[in-house]
Structure 1
């Protein structure tokens, strides 16, 4: 005798839910382009190809700004969805900090992390077994990369080892950012009750 199993009931997304797939894709493509141009720029810098280095540096800077805008746009939408899942008091910071946290001096060293980790936690389908490690690794590599790159630029260090370390930190930060965007977007694509 065969036993028929009913398909799982289709769960509904909360009212006012906005898909994050397209903003995630745009942010991810731009982040990937930043990583590629960072590798090319570092290689040109090490090889002493000043003209190529200058051109790619400007392209990289422009892509970095576009990727930042796309990432914040994706985060704004993901944060709005997270609020629908856990309520406005389930997030430590108000929604305005999704944007302001990146530009407000001093607090920009930890507020962006708090915004992302709160969205991460709210978006996870199984909050009881959740680990924040990926977000922690993203934020640590991002912060260290940003500070180290600014330091070697300010001091004028052009040795190979620091340039390679800066590039490696940028790559690690970018890869972790891509993984965070992907995971939160995948979680938010799942139907909810």
Structure 2
């Protein structure tokens, strides 16, 4: 388990399992979960439901709402889902809540398409997956986060995410302590 309560953003393209893994990870970490889709204004949901990709102007208020939630949870911990596809989106979230960490759910496109095709009751059509992949900018080395493969069961994916966050937390604490004596 992570040593200090952080806010974790579970990110990735549609169909990677953010809504499945997010609550499982929150339960394992003992913190609340917030569904990123719930922060969308109705206009965004209507647009995506019609098969129209969101643009940056659509996303800014949504990201600001998620950032405000993350800011309120600073020091308390929490897990929230957000596609957070672009570096600029993650920068905006970090500006609101500097201590956040990202779990980038990633995997084989065919697996993601198949999962998307079989989910029920979600407003994001499979047709928008191309725009999601085109927009995706993976985490960069200077961003606090980890990439986690989405193959396997939700429990396996969640365990990998927790282990990766533990390793990230340990390496961050080591970095802050300075070099170890030889």
* TM bracket, shorter-chain basis: under 0.3
User: Between Structure 1 and Structure 2, which shows a larger proportion of helix residues?
Assistant: 1
Query: Could you say which structure has the greater relative contact order, defined with CA pairs below 8 angstroms and 6 or more residues apart?
Result: 2
User: Between Structure 1 and Structure 2, which shows a larger proportion of strand residues?
Assistant: 2
Structure with greater Cα Rg: 1
Q: TM-score, normalised by structure 2?
A: 0.27
Q: TM-score, normalised by structure 1?
A: 0.26
